[in-house]
């Protein structure tokens, strides 16, 4: 199998360059278009590790042949920071990621149109949130993975 890689080199200079410090540090940022052996594709920024390996760091788009797309921030070759993950089923998560997981505040839209807006902890609904069901009813309360005891129906009066 072969992998294709196109690289454009950019430079980011830290504050020491701007203040004319006698020490200059340069962090090379590369714009790449890379096709993995499994046909996944990444277009975006990456940096070189101390071992010389390129890894995704910065902003980029990763797509799979079966239609999954992630657009957002990368750190240490993982989805980290803000991003949007779309699945061909229609499921969409938009929000915070940590180490390739939904983690922090986000919105998950289910394939049937139902939607959860709130907190996530390692891919699980966790903490305060709101759920809008397929009938358009809105519920709020505390979620704990698949359980949400004491949800309250929001009524417009």
Chain segment 94-141, per-residue pLDDT in tens: 999 999 999 999 999 999 999 999 999 999 999 999 999 999 999 999
In 3-state terms, what secondary structure has residue 77? Answer: coil
* Residue 25: band (very low, low, confident or very high) from pLDDT cuts 50, 70, 90: very low
More confident residue, 146 or 137: 137
Over residues 77-89, mean pLDDT:
98
More confident residue, 147 or 87: 87
Contact 73, 80 (CB under 8 A): yes
Over residues 64-83, mean pLDDT:
97
- Ranking 23-27, 35-39, 92-96, 125-129 by mean pLDDT, the lowest is 23-27
CA dist 52 and 46 (Å) reads 12
The helix (run of H) or strand (run of E) holding residue 23 is none
Contact 125, 145 (CB under 8 A): yes
Cα–Cα distances in Å, from 38 out to 41, 42, 89, 130? 9, 12, 21, 38
> What pLDDT is recorded for position 20?
34
């Amino acid at each position: 199998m072969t992998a294709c890689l196109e690289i454009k080199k950019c430079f980011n200079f830290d504050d020491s360059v701007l203040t004319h410090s006698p020490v200059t540090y340069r962090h090379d940022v590369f714009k790449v278009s890379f096709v993995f052996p499994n046909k996944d594709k990444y277009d975006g920024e990456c940096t070189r590790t101390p071992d010389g390996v390129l890894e995704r760091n910065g902003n980029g788009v990763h797509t799979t042949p079966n239609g999954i797309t992630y657009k957002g921030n990368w750190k240490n070759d993982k989805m980290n920071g803000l991003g949007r993950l779309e699945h061909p089923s229609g499921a969409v998560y938009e929000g915070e990621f940590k180490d390739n997981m939904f983690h922090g505040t986000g919105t998950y839209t289910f394939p049937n149109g139902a939607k959860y807006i709130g907190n996530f902890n390692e891919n699980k609904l966790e903490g305060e949130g709101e759920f809008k069901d397929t009938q358009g009813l809105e519920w709020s309360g505390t979620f704990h993975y698949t359980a949400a005891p004491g949800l309250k129906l929001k009524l417009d009066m």
